Chains A and B, each alone.
Chain A
Amino acid sequence: MVAKTKTDRAVHHSLTFSMFENLISFLGKFVQLTPEDISTIEDKMVIKEYPKKYLLIEEGDIAQHLYFINKGLIHKYFYKGKEMITTDLVCEGTLTGSINSFLSGNPSHYYLQTLEITHVLSISKEALEELYKQDKKWQRIGRIVITHFLLQQEKKILDDIRYNIRERIVHFAQDFPSILNRVPQRRIASYLNIKPETFTRLKHLITETKKPTGPKKKEKSNE
């Protein structure tokens, strides 16, 4: 059922620390955070755990939260008639949500569903607005995070046009090796805008990509 609510940080300090560690390193890529900033984040974000197949948002809902994934996997999709179209597959270390709805206040086009037991840090619209009011620094962080979303979005639109099917499969295998074996192939095919049959026929590209001898691939230590 519904997730645990905010953990008592005084009691579970070390647990909390590890919960926020990933987020701090995610934001740390963009800005230098002080210990005070970190405690501000800890106050504004809520630790939640969702079971597998939990619907965080449905089509038509107005998104009230963004989610930073600590553990687990979230599937973003919509239905075109009866066909499920995957628009995103996101795992640990990523900030996600029905971003358009969250920003615009319009009903979400998308569903967001967990595909595994998923641990997130969630931030509400109100909490984010409070942060923006509190200090220019948070406005800067907000802008940089939106920039990050915009770049990802633009890159995906462009990649679907400029890369052929084989290239898209190889790039996905290179960029998201940790997602490959955790989601049904049909979902990856849909995300890459490839027919399931075509994907099945070409999935050998994934295994080839993962091998050190594969095309255009650097040595991998874990092989």
Chain B
Amino acid sequence: MSKSATDKQALFIKNAFHYFQQFMPLTINEMEGLVKYCEFRKFDRRAIIVKEGEVDVFLNMVVQGMVMKYVKVGKSETILQLATEGHIIHSELSYLTQTPSPVIVQALEPTVVFSISYENMQAALDNFPQGETLGRKILETMYIKKDERKYAWQSKNVRQRFLDYINGHPHMLQRVPQKYLASYLNIKAETFSRLKHLTKQ
């Protein structure tokens, strides 16, 4: 491996290590133990990570880039999640039950993810001392985030939803095509453009 590639790998490990601290504190030794069960995977912009109908065998944490999860209903597509650095993304229903995925997972930017396969997850849960706790903490975080999103989606009107999201994630307007953000926030494209002017004032 070239020097720059090794440097990059080291940086990814450092970042992954940093992101894992959001779930539970881990020592360097523990993180090294965990890394053995995981792998880095790279995807080009627009690469499909999980196809509809395919069984998802990976749980991924985004280390660099952006990944979206969406569902197709007839001809329309609804974006369920936009994951950036430090976020977990995969097809939960498929991975956790090992059944065909109802959703599609796709890279929106050139992306590096830190992944654990279903098989390695079972091994880590059995053998990695903090496996059960870490596994639970990850699932708890996923539940909490999903519930916050669902609540925001149900309790706020379109304008509030837009403003809260854009204020909380100001970089996303630059990083994500508008139609994807509009779909994610369940806002019509025309309304989205109109609301965008609000942020410029």
Contact = CB atoms under 8 A, between A and B. Distances in A.
Interface of A: 78, 80, 85, 87, 99-100, 103-104, 109, 132, 136, 139-140, 142-143, 146-147, 149-151, 153-155, 157-158, 161-162
Among all A-B residue pairs, the 3 with the closest Cβ atoms? A139-B132, A100-B147, A143-B136
Interface of B: 71, 73, 78, 80, 92-93, 96-97, 102-103, 125, 132-133, 135-136, 139-140, 142-144, 146-148, 150-151, 154-155
B139 A143 contact: yes
Contact of A151 (B93, B103, B125, B147): B93
A109 B136 CA distance: 22
Contact of A153 (B73, B78, B147): B147
A153 B150 contact: yes
B115 to A, nearest CB: 18
B97 A151 contact: yes
A157 B142 CA distance: 14
B164 to A, nearest CB: 14
Contacts of B146: 150, 153-154, 157
A132 B136 CA distance: 11
Contacts of B135: 143
Contacts of B140: 103-104, 146
A99 B141 CA distance: 11
Contacts of B92: 150-151, 154
Contacts of B93: 151, 154-155, 158
A109 B143 contact: no
Contacts of A139: 132-133, 136
A133 B97 CA distance: 27
A221 to B, nearest CB: 28
Nearest to A156: B150
A109 B156 CA distance: 13
Contacts of B133: 132, 139
B66 to A, nearest CB: 20
A100 B149 CA distance: 11
A214 to B, nearest CB: 24
Given A150-B143, A153-B146, A154-B146, 6 more contacts: A104-B144, A143-B139, A151-B92, A153-B143, A161-B80, A162-B102
Nearest to B153: A157
A162 B78 CA distance: 9
Nearest to A143: B136
A175 B143 CA distance: 23
Contacts of A150: 92, 96, 139, 142-143, 146
Contact of B143 (A80, A140, A146): A146
Contact of B136 (A100, A142, A154): A142
B182 to A, nearest CB: 15
B101 to A, nearest CB: 11
A87 B136 contact: no
A99 B147 contact: yes
B132 to A, nearest CB: 4
B155 A78 contact: yes
Contacts of B73: 161-162
A103 B132 contact: no
